[in-house]
Amino acid sequence: MAGRGDTHIEDDRFDALAAEELSKQHAWAEPCQRCRERVRTLEQRIGYTFRHVPLLFKALTHSSYAHENAEHGLRHNERLEFLGDAVLGLVLSEHLFRVFYMRWEGELSLMKAWLVSEHNLAAIAQHINLGYYLFLGIGEETSGGRTRVALLADALEALIGAVYLDGGLPAARALIQRLFAEKLATVDIDKAQINYKNALQRTMHPRAHCELRYVVAATSGPEHQRQYTVEVRVDSHVLGRGTGSSKKEAEMNAARDALERLASEEVVLVQAVSQTSSPELGAKT
Catalytically annotated residues: 85, 157
Contact 97, 270 (CB under 8 A): yes
Residue 57 · residue 23 · CB < 8 Å: no
> Burial of 221 by CB count in 10 Å (0-12 exposed, 13-18 middle, 19+ buried)?
exposed
Q: What's the CA gap between 277 and 157, in Å, rounded?
A: 23
CB neighbourhood size of 10 (10 A): 18
- Please answer whether residues 101 and 270 qualify as being in contact, where contact means their C-beta atoms are separated by less than 8 angstroms: no
As a whole number of angstroms, the distance between CA 9 and CA 259 comes to 37
* Rounded distance between C-alpha atoms, residue 210 and residue 233, angstroms: 10
The shares of helix, strand and coil residues in the chain, as percent rounded to the nearest 5, are 70, 10, 20
Total residue count of the chain as it appears in this document: 285
Q: What's the burial of 163, exposed, middle or buried (CB within 10 Å: 0-12/13-18/19+)? A: buried
C-alpha 31/C-alpha 8 separation (Å) is 27
| Helix 181-190 × helix 105-115 angle, to 10° | 130
177 by Cβ neighbours in 10 Å (0-12 / 13-18 / 19+) ranks as middle
